[in-house]
Amino acid sequence: MTTLLPSPTTLAALAKIGLLVGGLMTAAAYLVLLERWIAAWVQDRRGPNRVGIPLTKIRLFGLGQPLADGLKIILKEDFTPQHVDKVLYTAAPLVILAASLAIFAAIPFGSVLPPLNIPGLPDPVPFLVAPGLDVGVLWVFALSSIAVYGVLLGGWASNSKYSFLGGLRSSAQLLAYEIPLGLGLLGVVLAAGSLKLDAIMNAQAESGIWYVFAQPLGFLVFMVASFAEAARLPFDLPEAEQELVGGYHTEYSGIRLLLFLVAEFLHMITAAFLIVILFLGGWHLWGVTGSGQEVTWLGAALRCGVLSAKILAVIVFFMLVRWSWPRFRFDQLMNLAWKVMLPLGIANLVVVATVEEFRPQLLASLGAGWAQGAALAAPWAVFFIGWIGAGLLTPSGTDNRPILTRSPLDAEHGLLTNTSRDWEKAVR
């Protein structure tokens, strides 16, 4: 009979959950500050630099700003408009935040701890909340598709035009970009031979070749798709401020708005984690971290540090992109997803599968060095061919005039009516 005391495994899991949730919430708060700093830097102004330690005059470069922001938004009135569907209106922010946090059950945030020798706790302890989950990548997918519900329900339950448009745009966009995201991911899964994110990092550390070098096309597709999944700027149509006020969270205020905003930042952090873990080697850095499973305390700290630094770099990249790219139009967004990213993702998958299939034969006939070279050259060749092909096949300029005819048959039948008078008639 088991005792009522939780086992060491449970305690370790609880400690990891505490560490992760605390870290993520703090990170989200300070990333807002970072985003504002970067925005200010890009726009050549000063940004928040006043708030320091409360009740003193110490400024500390504005590091107290997240506290002030958080307190302010929590103390705002939590107003529920009369016209909303109360149940779903309340549930939407909870769903999105819970799903965005639960994603991290399968995402490692470091390598392993050195042996602790606690009875009942299998050594080494991985920096991962659910180490037994063999389907880590799919878990991330499942939970991020649950997060779509938050957006969709928030938009629908608000019962207002702006929210509704935001919700619709968001769900269409997320559905479209899940496919290239999955295709980019499949190449990595195929090469690493595992759905566990820590196993994927270990595979990169052992070979020393990060998948960004082995699968450049997959990296490109995955990164673009994760920008879209996180609804960051070139793809932020769901909440395009200039068109939709705030998109699906227009009607929210106070702490429920805060939940939505935190969930959005968590999406970006998740995307950064995935990019680093899948393609940028995770905790691995040549000559610094080593590659085995035996680590000292210093090594474990170093690996956590390397992983965090890479993630921060990716997040800074996300933020710089936000202030340097204009937003896509919705048809451009869909064209990019279905006509560019989907074929490129399939091309990447095919070349990776071919390389992995024939790797043993290559090794046997060419020797280790040449085989590795060939296995790297093929994806790069496909990368450049794909890039050039996509560039040649998609028009560089866009025609903003309304197009009435959609199929080539219309031209055949003499129905090409692109004059403005006909357009006005058609609209009427």
Partner 1 sequence: MNPVGLPPVSSGLLVAGAVTAAAVSLWLLLPRGSDRHQSRSFYLTQRCGMLLGVVALAGLATAGRRLGSLGEDAVFLTVSIVAVVSGAATIVSRSPVYSAIWFALSLAGVAGVLLVLGAQFLGVATIVVYAGAILVMFLFVLMLAQPSGLAPYDRVSSEPLLSAVAGAVLLGLLTLSIGRLSSGTLPSRAGAVETLATTAPAALDPLEDNHVARLGAELFGRHLVAVEAAGVLLLVALIGSIAIVSRGELDAVADRHSTASHAPTSHAPTRPEGIA
Residues that bind partner 1 (CB under 8 A): 2, 88, 132-135, 138-139, 141-143, 145-146, 148-149, 152-153, 156, 164, 167-168, 171-172, 174-176, 178, 194-195, 331, 334-335, 337-339, 404, 406-407, 409-410, 413, 415, 417, 422, 425-426
Residue 275: CB minimum distance to partner 1, A: 20
SS3 330: helix
Taking the least distance from each CB to partner 1, the nearer of 30 and 141 is 141
- The nearest distance, CB 309 to partner 1, in angstroms, is 31
In the complex, the smallest distance separating the C-beta of residue 29 from partner 1, rounded to whole angstroms, is 29
* 156 versus 383: smaller Cβ distance to partner 1: 156
Closer to partner 1 by CB, 59 or 161: give it: 161
Q: What is the DSSP string of 51-105?
A: --STTSS--GGGTTHHHHHHHHHHHS-----TTS-HHHHHHHHHHHHHHHHHGGG
Give percent helix, percent strand, percent coil of the chain, each to the nearest 5.
70, 0, 30
Residue whose CB is less far from partner 1, 116 or 415: 415
Q: Which residues contact 162 (CB under 8 A, 6 or more apart)?
A: 244, 245, 246, 247, 250
**Phi and psi for 126 in degrees, rounded to 5?**
-80, 155
The residue whose two tokens read 């937003």 is 327
Query: Would you say 385 or 426 has its CB closer to partner 1?
Result: 426
What's the min distance (Å) between Cβ of 113 and partner 1?
20
In angstroms, give the least distance from the CB of 45 to partner 1: 38
CB of 206 to partner 1, least distance (A): 18
CA distance 279 to 181: 13
Q: Are 48 and 30 in contact (CB under 8 A)?
A: no
- Using the minimum distance from each CB to partner 1, give the nearer residue, 142 or 304: 142
Encoding tokens for residue 365? 């006939």
Q: Which residues pair with 126 in a beta bridge?
A: 112
Task: Give the nearest distance from C-beta 67 to partner 1 in angstroms.
Answer: 35
CB atoms within 10 A of CB 363: 15
Of 28 and 185, nearer to partner 1 (C-beta) is: 185
In angstroms, what is the minimal distance from the CB of 123 to partner 1? 16
Give me the least distance between CB of 278 and partner 1, in Å please: 17
Under 8 Å between Cβ of 323 and 42: yes
Residue 424: CB atoms within 10 Å: 9
Tokens for 203, please give them: 């595979």
Q: How far is the CB of 149 from partner 1 (least distance, A)?
A: 7
Name which of 206 and 313 has its Cβ closer to partner 1: 206
Closer by beta carbon to partner 1, 106 or else 275: 106
Q: CB count, 10 Å around CB of 286?
A: 11
* C-alpha to C-alpha distance for 385 and 378, rounded to whole angstroms: 11
Other residues' Cβ atoms within 10 Å of the Cβ of residue 25: 15
CB 33 within 8 A of CB 48: yes
Q: Given the complex with partner 1, which of 74 and 415 has the nearer CB atom?
A: 415
CA of 408: how far to CAs of 390, 397, 416, in Å?
22, 20, 9
